[in-house]
């Protein structure tokens, strides 16, 4: 391993992902690495019992992407407080597969992600996504619980 | 995140070497210490029976198991270049993932480094600190 220079941070904009992002930024700052925030989303297509498929309209798609972009911009605003070079990516597809693919194709040195999303079902979902990424991704993956063990480091105040 | 102590659980497979090498490289960058931990399984029922018959202390794996683990630990550390990195080894007895989590909590490790395997999923839920999994490059 050379030094860690490129860190990929998948986010679903949950508290757990935000916590992992702050840990990743902290790590990036101490290692002199850059951070790429990745948001993977899936279009809510669904199939009716008769087999017909209801596709997402262009409007819904645009709204999804717009909402993701807005939240990513907010995350970048938070990240800028760390003085770490931050870029963003938005990709459509199943989260775990997208994360593993982006990490490999982009030759990221490390993926940092939370194991818990929001609450209830989301918690299960993100946990299973992290678990799947660990299982399938060929790049190193760091998983971080939230908030069972807060970092002793004091983070810069949020804007 | 301040990485001061890194815990590397090993089972002496080639995967263990990969994880240890990664941890040592990371420790060098972060000026962290590395603790290498092997968890020997608790004695099986038949081994406990043998302990009783041989009047040995209960709850320990057979002496040859521990001696073997110590020898393999020494070989693993010798095979991993770690100049400039404080490295300590430890052999504990117990259930693998629980023991790893307990040691990480007791010794305030900031990171656990391991190669994905059977215990990874358990570790993801039990780890008291961030868990880094890496595969050989």
* Rounded mean pLDDT, A9-34: 91
Task: Compute the C-alpha angle B76/B8/B137, nearest 5°.
Answer: 75
Contacts of A134 in chain B (CB under 8 A): 116, 120-121, 124, 133
Nearest to A36 by CA among A92, A81, A75: A75
Nearest to A84 by CA among A13, A155, A149, A143: A155
* Rounded mean pLDDT, A40-54: 83
* Rounded mean pLDDT, B115-121: 88
The answer to whether the Cβ–Cβ distance between B111 and A142 falls below 8 Å is yes
Which residue has better confidence, B60 or A94? Answer: A94
Strand partners for A89: A38
pLDDT for B32 equals 95
Closest CA of chain A from B38, distance in Å: 21
Cα B48 from chain centre? 24
The answer to whether the Cβ–Cβ distance between A131 and B124 falls below 8 Å is yes
**pLDDT digit string (tens) for A53-70?**
888 788 888 888 888 899
pLDDT for B80 equals 94
pLDDT for A81 equals 87
pLDDT for A122 equals 47
B103 touching chain A per CB within 8 A: no
* Rounded mean pLDDT, A24-31: 92
Q: Which helix (H) or strand (E) holds B113?
A: strand B111-114
**pLDDT digit string (tens) for A111-138?**
999 986 544 454 455 568 898 999 999 9
Contacts of B129 in chain A (CB under 8 A): 149
pLDDT for A112 equals 96
pLDDT for A147 equals 62
Q: Chain B interface, mutation test: which of A24, A138, A143, most B Cβ atoms within 10 Å?
A: A143
The answer to whether the Cβ–Cβ distance between A3 and B21 falls below 8 Å is no
**Residue A128, both tokens:** 């299973």
Contacts of A141 in chain B (CB under 8 A): 132-134
* Rounded mean pLDDT, B108-120: 92
pLDDT for B70 equals 95
Strand-by-strand arrangement of the B5-9 sheet: A86-92, A34-41, A6-10, A110-114, A141-144, B131-133, B111-114, B5-9, B33-40, B87-93
**Which B residues 27-86 touch A at CB under 8 Å?**
29-30
- B90 has a pLDDT exceeding 90: yes
pLDDT for A159 equals 58
Range with the lowest mean pLDDT among A15-24, A139-148, B23-32? A139-148
Long-range contacts at B113-117 (CB < 8 A, ≥ 24 apart): B113/B6, B113/B7, B113/B8, B113/B19, B113/B20, B113/B22, B113/B23, B113/B26, B114/B8, B114/B9, B114/B19, B115/B15, B115/B16, B115/B18, B115/B19, B116/A134, B116/A135, B117/B11, B117/B15
A143 touching chain B per CB within 8 A: yes
B135 touching chain A per CB within 8 A: yes
pLDDT for A156 equals 60
Range with the lowest mean pLDDT among A62-76, A140-154, B110-124? A140-154
**pLDDT digit string (tens) for B12-69?**
998 899 999 999 999 998 999 999 999 998 877 777 777 777 777 777 777 888 899 9
Pairing of strands B33-40, A53-54: unpaired
A81 touching chain B per CB within 8 A: no
Contacts of B102 (CB under 8 A, 6+ apart): B94
* Rounded mean pLDDT, A4-22: 91
**Which among B29, B120, B135 is the nearest to A138, CB-wise?**
B135
The C-alpha atoms of residue A19 and residue A22 are separated, in whole angstroms, by: 5
pLDDT for B36 equals 98
A142 touching chain B per CB within 8 A: yes
């Amino acid at each position: 391993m050379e030094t860690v220079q490129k860190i990929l941070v998948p986010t679903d904009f949950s508290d757990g992902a935000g916590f992992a992002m702050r840990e990743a930024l902290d790590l990036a700052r101490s290692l002199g690495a850059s951070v790429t925030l990745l948001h993977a989303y899936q279009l809510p297509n669904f199939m009716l019992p008769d087999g017909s498929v209801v596709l997402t309209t262009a409007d819904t798609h645009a709204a999804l992407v717009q909402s993701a972009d807005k939240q990513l911009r907010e995350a970048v605003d938070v990240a800028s407080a760390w003085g770490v070079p931050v870029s963003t990516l938005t990709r459509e597809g199943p989260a775990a597969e997208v994360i593993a693919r982006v990490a490999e194709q982009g030759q990221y040195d490390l993926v940092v992600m939370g194991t818990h999303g929001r609450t209830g079902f989301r918690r299960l979902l993100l946990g299973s996504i992290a678990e799947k990424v660990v299982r399938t991704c060929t790049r190193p993956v760091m998983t971080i619980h939230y908030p069972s063990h807060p970092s002793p480091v004091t983070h810069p105040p949020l804007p | 995140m301040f990485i001061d102590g890194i815990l590397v659980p090993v089972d002496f497979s080639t995967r263990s070497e990969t994880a240890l090498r990664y941890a040592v490289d990371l420790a060098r960058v972060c000026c962290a210490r590395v603790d290498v931990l092997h968890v020997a399984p608790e004695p099986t029922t038949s081994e406990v029976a043998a302990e009783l018959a041989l009047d040995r202390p209960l709850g320990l794996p057979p002496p040859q198991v521990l001696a073997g683990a110590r020898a393999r630990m020494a070989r693993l550390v010798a095979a991993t270049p770690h100049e400039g990195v404080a490295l300590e080894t430890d052999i504990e007895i117990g259930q693998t993932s629980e023991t790893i989590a307990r040691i990480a909590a007791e010794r305030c490790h900031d990171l656990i480094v391991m190669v994905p395997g059977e215990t990874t999923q358990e570790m993801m839920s039990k780890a008291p600190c961030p868990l880094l999994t890496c595969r050989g490059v």
